[in-house]
Amino acid sequence: MMALVDILELFPADHHGAGRLKRSCSACTGVLERARSCSGVWYQVLDQGGRTGNYLEASASCMFVYGLAKALAWAFSTRLAWQRRKAAWGGILEHSSPKMQTGCLAWAIFCGGAG
């Protein structure tokens, strides 16, 4: 999603492939909404929310929120994306807000490694 909205920003609007990329961006917003957990953020493995060892993952969630917000700002997506972005950002703030631990700022639920 991030790469898609970033390339759309640079892509010539009159290029024959621009419409296809915009439709892909719009489709991604729907897919992301269906994959988002009820907490507002996404799991590390999107379609395996209940799987043992899978967890809510903030770094990818931040990238999805960026993509949703930019898609809306560039009108590559609908107003519904704004509600999705707002709900996801709220989930990120609720579940991964920085906390002070031993004098250091510590973010929660960021990917420490995959695989």
Q: What is the pLDDT of residues 73-105, one digit of tens each?
A: 777 655 665 666 677 777 777 766 666 566 665
Classified as helix, coil or strand, 58 is: helix
Residue type, position 12, single letter: P
pTM comes to: 0.74
Neighbours of 37 (CB within 10 A): 16
Buried b (16+ CB within 10 A) or exposed e, 40-66: bbbbbebeebeeeeeebbbebbbebbb
Res. 18: pLDDT tops 60: yes
